[in-house]
Amino acid sequence: MAQATPGATILELKDVSKRFGEFYANRGVNFDLRAGEVHCLCGENGAGKSTMMNMLYGLLEPTEGTISMDGAPVHIGGPRHAIDLGIGMVHQHFMLIPVFTVAENIVLADEPTQGMTLDIKAAEARVRELSDRYGLSVDPSARVQDITVGQQQRAEILKALYRRARILILDEPTAVLTPQEIEELLRVIGLLRDEGMSIIMITHKLKEVLSIADRISVLRRGEMVGTVPREGQTEASIANMMVGRDVLLKVDKTESIPERPVLTVQDLWVKDDRDLDAVRGASFEVHAGEIVGVAGIDGNGQEELVDAIAGLRPIQRGRITLDGEDITGLSPHEVSEAGLGHIPQDRHRRGMVLDFDLRENVMLHDWDKRDMVRFGIIDRAASAERAETLCDMYDVRSGGGIGSRAGSLSGGNQQKLVIAREIQRDPKLLIAAQPTRGVDIGAIEFIHRRLVEERDAGTAVLLVSLEMSEVLSLSDRIVVIFEGEIVAEFEGGRVDEQRLGMAMIGSGDGHSVPGQAGIGGALAGPEVEETPA
Amino acid sequence: MKEFVDVWILGLGLATLTYGTPLILAALGGLFSERSGIVNIALEGMMTAGAFFAIYVSVQTNSWFFGLIGAMLAGMVLAAVHAVATVTFHADQIVSGTAIILIAAGLVNFLNLTLFGSEGSPPDISSPWKVGPADFRVSVLVPLAFLAVAGTWFVIFRTPFGLRLRSVGEHPRAADTVGIDVARMRYTAVLVSGALAGLAGAFISFNVDSYTENMVAGNGFIALAALIFGKWKPVPVMMACLLFGFAQGLASRLGGVGWLPDAFQSPELLNALPYVITLIALAGFVGKAVPPAAVGKPYIKH
C-alpha cells in the first residue's frame, strides 16, 4: 500500500454538483479524505451518497466542481481510471460473478498470465498471500456462489487490495452481515487503517459510525450538511443531521397484552427451491395483540416459512391454523381471505406491480370484491377513493398522485403503500417480512409506529427481519430460526444483541418457554439457561 | 458384410460428419455469442449468407479459400447488424435475430437470382480440399471444425480473454466495475459468432458445390438446440451436434431400407426424425441447463 503522510488530504471534492435534468443529486458538495482515516458518510436514501461515490469511481461525471487527488485536480474517466488512481470500491450489491471462483473474481481484468494462458495457480497464491496478511480468510478456489455473504465481502475487499487501492470505498458494508461478521469487518477496517489505507464508509447504522469513524460527513437532499469529528457525537445528533429534525430512535410501546392464539404452526416442514429441507419442524404461536419477531441470519428458512404460511409454497408436513381455521394447503387467495395481511420481503417481486399505478396496486386483492368490481368491471371511482384515502393516511408521497406508476416512488413510499393496503384489510394476522428494508430513518420510524398500533388494535403480528435491532426493539417475543429450526425463544426486552447473535449462529443459550422446547425439537447448544424472572 | 460396413459404418459415419460439421461450427458461434450475454438466434440467417457467398466468391475468384473468407465476412456483416442493434441500441435480441433471419433469406435469394440467374451457379467451381483415406474422404473443414472445438475450449476456459468474455455474460456490471469494456467484448463475441456461422453455411453449400434456396433448412436452430443440450460447453456441444448429425444421416439412409414398413419409408416422416430427436433431447435429457446469467439482457450503463 502506498504510504502518504498520515493526516494529509489525499482526496478532495470541491463544490461538486451532479445534475440529472432539473434535479440536483449532489449540489455544491465539499468533502475531503485524509490519509489513514475512516471517514463515514451518512445520509438517508436518496441523499446523494451513491451519486457522490459513483463520481469518485468514474461511473458518473460531475456537472460542476473539481475532484482532486494529492492536491492535483483529476478527471476520473471510468472505473479503469479510478482503479489506476488507487481507488477501490466495495459495492453494496457485490460485484462478484457467482459461477467464478474467488481467485478468478479477484484477478479479473488484471490476470496473471503464463504465455497465453491464465495462470490460475499464481492468482490463487497471490490471493492467499493477501488474505493471510490482512486476516481476510477466504478459500481462493471456492466458487463465489458456494461461500457465505461474509466471505464474499472479504473477496470484494481483496479485489480492491489486489489492485493496490489506497482509497477504499465501502458502500453499506454491514447491511448484509451477521453481528459477528460485522465485528470482524470493523476489525479488518481498523487494521487497514493502521496500514495507511484511507477509507470512506457509507452507512446509516449509527452505532457502527460511532464505533469506527474518525470523522463523519452527512448528506441531506444532495447537499453536505457538515463534517464533524466523531468525538462528542451521539446517535441522536447524527440522526438529527441526517433527517433535519429529532428522530425517535427507540420504539415507544407499552407491555403487550396477548390474547387468544391467532397463528399456530405445528411441526412445519417446507422445502426450498433446490428441494432441500428449508424449514425443519418449526412450531410456534402468535397471539392476538403481540408482535413475535423471527430472528435469524438470511437464508435460514425465513423466506420459506413465510411463503408456507401465506400459501405460496407447498408444505411437506405439519399444520398451520389461523384463528382456529386450518389453513394448511390453502391457496394464497384463500389464506388471505381467512385473515392474513402480508407485507412481503421483496416488495418489487411480490408486494406490488411496479408498472401499475397506485390506484391499481391498492386494489390488487379486490378483484373479486363487490365494492370494487361490478359485473367484471372495475369501479374506478371507488378504487380511486380508497387509494386517495390510504395515500393520505400513510403519507405516501408520489410525483403524480394516485395515477403515478408505483415504480416511480421511492423505496420508503412503495413500502408505505404496501403496508397501507395490507393493514386496511383489517387482518387477523399481519406478517411483516423485512418491513423496513431499504427504507429511510424517517419512514422506519413511521412504519414501526404503525406495526405497534396494529398490535394494540388486537392484530397478531409476525415480524421477520434480518435487522437485529429491529427485532429487538419491536418484538414482544422473539423466536430464533437457525437452519430451518426454531432453536431458541426469548422474551422481548430480556435479551441483548450478543446473546441473540449467538443463538442466530446456532450456539445460543436461549431459554425455552415451557411447553415449547419439545415441539420445536431442537434447542441447539448443550446448556439451556433459564433467564431470571 | 462388406456392404454392411460400407453402408452402415462408413456411410453413416460420413453422413454424421457431413450433417454434424456445420452444426458444430454454428453452435460454436452461438457459444461465443451467448457466453458474452447475447442470444444469437440469427445463426440461421448468417449460415444462409455464408452458404451463398462461399459459392459466389469461389466462382468469382476461382479460389475456395477466398470463398470461405467471403462466407465468414458475410456472416460477420449480419453479426455486426445484430451487435449494433442489441449491444449499442439495447434492442430485444430475439426480435433482432428474427429480423436478420428474414433479411438474410430475402436478400440472399434476391442476390442468387440477380447474380447467377435461374440456372444457378456454374457446375465447376473451386471447392475445398478433401482429406482422409480413399473410402472416407471429407472436406478439410471437417478436421478444422474439430480443431475449432479445442480452440474454443482453450480460449473460453484458459485465457484471460475467455475469463473476461464469460464475466460479461454472467454479470456485466461487475465486469464494468473492474474496467472491462462490456460493449467491446460483446461486439467481438458476436462477430466471431458470425464468422463461424458463415463458415458453417459455406460447408453446406460446398458440400454440393452450389447454392440452392433455403438449403440451410433450420440447421441454425438445431445448432442452437445443441448449444443448450451441450450446456454452453464446447465438448458437450460438439457431442450434441454429432448426435443431431447422426440423426439426420440416419434419416437420409433409412429411406432405402427394404424391411421397414412402408409408412416409415415416407421421406416426410423420416426427415422429421432429427427434429423429433432434438425435441426429445431438449425436453428429456438436458436436465437443468443453466445459461450464462446475463444472456438476453441488454447492459445499460448508469
b/e A294-313 (16+ beta carbons within 10 angstroms → b): bbbbeebbbbbbbbbbbbbb
Residues of chain A in contact with residue B302, where contact means CB-CB under 8 angstroms, are 54, 59-60
Q: Which residue of A has its CA nearest to B176?
A: A79
What is the reported pLDDT for A519? 34
Q: Which residue has the higher pLDDT, A404 or B286?
A: A404
Domain boundaries, chain A: 9-243, 248-339+427-533, 353-424
pLDDT digits (tens, 9 = 90+) for A60-76: 999 999 999 999 999 99
Q: Which residue of B has its CA nearest to A81?
A: B179
Residue A387: which of A411, A421, A339, A419 has the closest Cα? A421
CB atoms closer than 10 angstroms to residue B1:
5
Q: Which residue of A has its CA nearest to B155?
A: A117
User: Percentage of chain B with pLDDT > 90?
Assistant: 71
What is the reported pLDDT for B63? 95
Q: Which residue of A has its CA nearest to B180?
A: A109
A179 has pLDDT over 90: no
Element (H, E) at A9: strand A9-20
Q: Which residue of B has its CA nearest to A84?
A: B179
Residues of chain A in contact with residue B153, where contact means CB-CB under 8 angstroms, are none
CA distance B178 to B175: 5
CA distance A430 to A456: 13
Residue B247: which of B225, B267, B275, B224 has the closest Cα? B275
Nearest 5°: the CA angle B52, B53, B56 is 90
Max mean pLDDT among B20-29, B136-145, B249-258 falls in B20-29
Of A151-160, A176-185, A286-295, B210-219, the least confident: A176-185
Cβ atoms of A80 and A447 within 8 Å: the answer is: no
Burial class of residue B158 in the structure, from the number of CB atoms within 10 Å of its CB (0-12 exposed, 13-18 middle, 19+ buried): middle
Chain A CB within 8 Å of residue B301 CB: yes
Chain A CB within 8 Å of residue B184 CB: no
Restricting to A residues 99-128, those with a Cβ less than 8 Å away from any Cβ of B are 99-100, 104-105, 108-111, 113, 116-118
Task: Please report, to the nearest 10 degrees, the dihedral formed by the alpha carbons of residues B180, B185, B186, B187 taken in order.
Answer: 130
d(CA A62, nearest CA chain B) in Å? 13
With cut-offs at 50, 70 and 90, classify the pLDDT of residue A259: confident
**Amino acid at site A241:** M
Using DSSP bridges, classify how beta strands A291-295 and A113-114 pair: parallel, antiparallel or unpaired: unpaired
Cβ atoms of B299 and B173 within 8 Å: the answer is: yes
With cut-offs at 50, 70 and 90, classify the pLDDT of residue A29: very high
Average pLDDT taken over every residue of chain A: 88
CATH 3.40.50.300 fits A248-339+427-533, yes or no: yes
Residues of chain B in contact with residue A79, where contact means CB-CB under 8 angstroms, are 176-179
Q: How far apart are the first and last CA of chain A?
A: 54
Using DSSP bridges, classify how beta strands A167-171 and A87-90 pair: parallel, antiparallel or unpaired: parallel
What is the reported pLDDT for B258? 62
The whole-number average pLDDT for the span B27-50 is 97
What is the reported pLDDT for B302? 61
The whole-number average pLDDT for the span B127-134 is 88
Given an 8 Å threshold on Cβ–Cβ distance, is A113 in contact with B160? yes
pLDDT digits (tens, 9 = 90+) for A428-439: 999 999 998 877
Cell of A267: 411441526
With cut-offs at 50, 70 and 90, classify the pLDDT of residue A389: very high
Of A33-42, A241-250, A417-426, A453-462, the least confident: A241-250
What is the reported pLDDT for A426? 92
Q: Which residue has the higher pLDDT, A110 or B270?
A: A110
Given an 8 Å threshold on Cβ–Cβ distance, is B167 in contact with A97? yes
Given an 8 Å threshold on Cβ–Cβ distance, is B177 in contact with A104? no
Residues of chain B in contact with residue A109, where contact means CB-CB under 8 angstroms, are 164, 175, 178-180
**Amino acid at site B149:** V
The whole-number average pLDDT for the span A489-498 is 86
* Answer CATH for B14-284 from 1.10.287, 1.10.3470, 1.10.10, 1.10.1740: 1.10.3470
With cut-offs at 50, 70 and 90, classify the pLDDT of residue A531: very low
What is the reported pLDDT for B269? 77
Given an 8 Å threshold on Cβ–Cβ distance, is A117 in contact with B159? yes
Residue A361: which of A394, A404, A306 has the closest Cα? A404
Q: Is B42 helix (H, G, I), strand (E, B) or coil?
A: coil
- Beta-carbon contacts of B98 under 8 Å, excluding residues fewer than 6 positions away, are B41, B42
d(CA B133, nearest CA chain A) in Å? 35
The torsion region of residue A68 among left (phi > 0), alpha (psi -120 to 50) and beta comes to: beta
Domain boundaries, chain B: 14-284
What is the reported pLDDT for B287? 66
Task: Please report, to the nearest 10 degrees, the dihedral formed by the alpha carbons of residues B82, B87, B91, B92 taken in order.
Answer: 80
Q: How far apart are the first and last CA of chain B?
A: 69
Cell of A137: 480468510
Given an 8 Å threshold on Cβ–Cβ distance, is A104 in contact with B163? yes
Cβ atoms of B295 and B38 within 8 Å: the answer is: yes
CA distance A144 to A483: 20
Superfamily of domain A9-243: P-loop containing nucleotide triphosphate hydrolases (3.40.50.300)
Residues of chain A in contact with residue B171, where contact means CB-CB under 8 angstroms, are 95-98
Of A516-520, B205-209, B215-219, the least confident: A516-520
What is the reported pLDDT for A533? 33
The whole-number average pLDDT for the span B153-177 is 97
Given an 8 Å threshold on Cβ–Cβ distance, is B159 in contact with A57? no
A529 has pLDDT over 70: no
Cβ atoms of A522 and A281 within 8 Å: the answer is: yes
Of A150-159, A246-255, B92-101, the least confident: A246-255
CA distance A219 to A409: 21
Residue A219: which of A24, A395, A78 has the closest Cα? A24
What is the reported pLDDT for A468? 84
B186 has pLDDT over 80: yes
Task: Please report, to the nearest 10 degrees, the dihedral formed by the alpha carbons of residues A102, A104, A108, A112 taken in order.
Answer: 120
DSSP state of A402: G
Residue B180: which of B201, B166, B159 has the closest Cα? B166
The whole-number average pLDDT for the span B52-75 is 97
pLDDT digits (tens, 9 = 90+) for A445-471: 889 999 999 999 999 999 999 888 889
Chain B CB within 8 Å of residue A348 CB: no
Mutation test of the interface with chain B: which of A108, A159, A162, A171, choosing the one with the most B Cβ atoms within 10 A?
A108
Given an 8 Å threshold on Cβ–Cβ distance, is B164 in contact with A108? yes
A161 has pLDDT over 80: yes
Cross-strand pairs, A286: A263
Cross-strand pairs, A294: A464, A479
The whole-number average pLDDT for the span B4-26 is 90
The residue assigned the cell 436452430 is B221
Given an 8 Å threshold on Cβ–Cβ distance, is A79 in contact with B178? yes
Burial class of residue B2 in the structure, from the number of CB atoms within 10 Å of its CB (0-12 exposed, 13-18 middle, 19+ buried): exposed
Residues of chain B in contact with residue A80, where contact means CB-CB under 8 angstroms, are 178-179
Long-range CB contact pairs, A276-281, < 8 A, 24+: A277/A316, A277/A484, A278/A303, A278/A304, A278/A305, A278/A484, A279/A304, A279/A305, A279/A308, A279/A484, A280/A483, A280/A484, A280/A485, A280/A522, A281/A318, A281/A484, A281/A485, A281/A520, A281/A521, A281/A522
Given an 8 Å threshold on Cβ–Cβ distance, is A118 in contact with B159? yes
Dihedral of alpha carbons A140, A145, A150, A154, sign: positive
With cut-offs at 50, 70 and 90, classify the pLDDT of residue A44: confident
Using DSSP bridges, classify how beta strands A117-118 and A113-114 pair: parallel, antiparallel or unpaired: antiparallel
Cβ atoms of A428 and A459 within 8 Å: the answer is: yes
What is the reported pLDDT for B253? 78
Chain A CB within 8 Å of residue B302 CB: yes
CA distance A318 to A281: 8
Residues of chain B in contact with residue A83, where contact means CB-CB under 8 angstroms, are 178-179
A180 has pLDDT over 90: no
Cβ atoms of A30 and A193 within 8 Å: the answer is: no
Query: CB-CB: which of A79, A104, A113 is closest to B177?
Result: A79
pLDDT digits (tens, 9 = 90+) for B262-279: 666 677 777 787 778 777
d(CA B163, nearest CA chain A) in Å? 7
Residues of chain B in contact with residue A54, where contact means CB-CB under 8 angstroms, are 302
Chain A CB within 8 Å of residue B179 CB: yes
A200 has pLDDT over 70: yes
pTM of the model: 0.79
Mutation test of the interface with chain A: which of B163, B168, B173, choosing the one with the most A Cβ atoms within 10 A?
B163
A514 has pLDDT over 80: no
**Amino acid at site A315:** I
d(CA B154, nearest CA chain A) in Å? 9
Rg, C-alpha atoms of chain B: 19
What is the reported pLDDT for A350? 85
d(CA A40, nearest CA chain B) in Å? 22
Q: What phi, psi does A13 have (nearest 5°)?
A: -110, 130
